Amino acid sequence: MARFMSRLWCKVESSGRHVPIILNAVLVFSITAEVSYLVLVEAPLEPEQKKTDWSTMWKAMHLFAQYFMLGNITWNASLFVKTNPSIRGVFLGGDTLGQGWRYCYNCETHTPPRCSHCYDCNVCVLRRDHHCVFFGQCVGFHNYRYFLTCLFFMWAGLLYAVVMNAEVFIVILKEGVTFHSVMLLLVPWIMLVSGQVTARAFAFAFIADTCVVGFLLVAAFLFFHVVLMLRGQTTREWYSTRQPYNLGTLANVRECLGNYWYICWLCPLIPSPLPGDGINFKVTGSLEPMK
C-alpha cells in the first residue's frame, strides 16, 4: 500500500509540474485570440475607415506583428525548456580546481563558480540564476538567452494587447462613463455571477484586466533581469555588494546573449554562440567575501 501511494504521489507531482506551463499557454493563446478579434472585427474603430484599402493593410500589419511576437514567445519558451542548463553530460575539468569551486554533496562532485544545486531539478546548474516555476526549468548559463528573449516578447505582446484594448476603452469613454462599465472593468467576476453582463462582455473585460496586470508584472521582472545582465550578475548574486564578474556593459550583454547579441533577440533561430563555457569565468575582483 505504501509503495502504491508513493508511486501515485510521484505521478501526481510529475503531472503537477506541467500545470504552470499549460496555464501559461492557455493565457497566451487566449490573449492572442482576443486581440485578433479586436483587429479583425472591431478595428478600425471608425465606420467609414472599415471599407478602405488602408483598413485591410492595417489589419495585415497588426496581425503580422501579433503572430511574430507569439511565434517568438512559443519558440523561445520551447528552446528554454529543451535546453539543458545543468552539469549533466558536461566535463567539469581536471584535477586542478580554481578559486570559487565547491563540492556538492547531493551531486557528489566538484562544481565550478556560480554553479549551485537546485532542489527542484535535483541537479547542479551552471551559472544558476533561479528556478522558473512557470516553466518548471532552471534558468542557467545555456538557456538564459531564451528566457530573457521570451520575457521580452511577452512584455511586448502584453503592451500591444493593452494598447489595443485601450483604443476600445477610449471609444467607450467617448460614449460616456457609466457605473456599469466601470464595475465591469474592476470586478468582472461579480458582474458575471450577478447576471449583470453577458459571457462575451465578461471574457473581454477579464482578458483586458489580465493584460494590464500581466504587463506590469512582466515589465518589472524584465527590468530586473536587464539590470542583472548589465551588471554581470545573477539573481543569487544580486544581494552581494561585490561584482567580481562585471566585465563592462557590452561584455556583460555578450556573456548572456552571445556574440551576435544585437540581432539574436529577433529570432531564436539566429545562432549566437556564447563566448564562455559556463565553467570558467573572467574575474575582475575577489571571489571571497569581504571581511
Q: Which residues contact 123 (CB under 8 A, 6 or more apart)?
A: 86, 87, 88, 107, 117
Q: Is 118 a catalytic residue?
A: no
203 vs 209: CA distance, rounded Å: 10
207 vs 81: CA distance, rounded Å: 26
101 vs 111: CA distance, rounded Å: 6
Three-state SS sequence of 190-236: HHHHCCCCCHHHHHHHHHHHHHHHHHHHHHHHHHHHHHHHHHCCCHH
227 vs 237: CA distance, rounded Å: 12
Catalytic residue among 115, 118, 132, 256: 132
136 vs 200: CA distance, rounded Å: 33
Grid coordinates representing 85 are 542548463
Residue 96 identity: T
| Spatial CA neighbour of 150 closest among 271, 264, 255, 260 | 264
- The catalytic site residues sit at 132
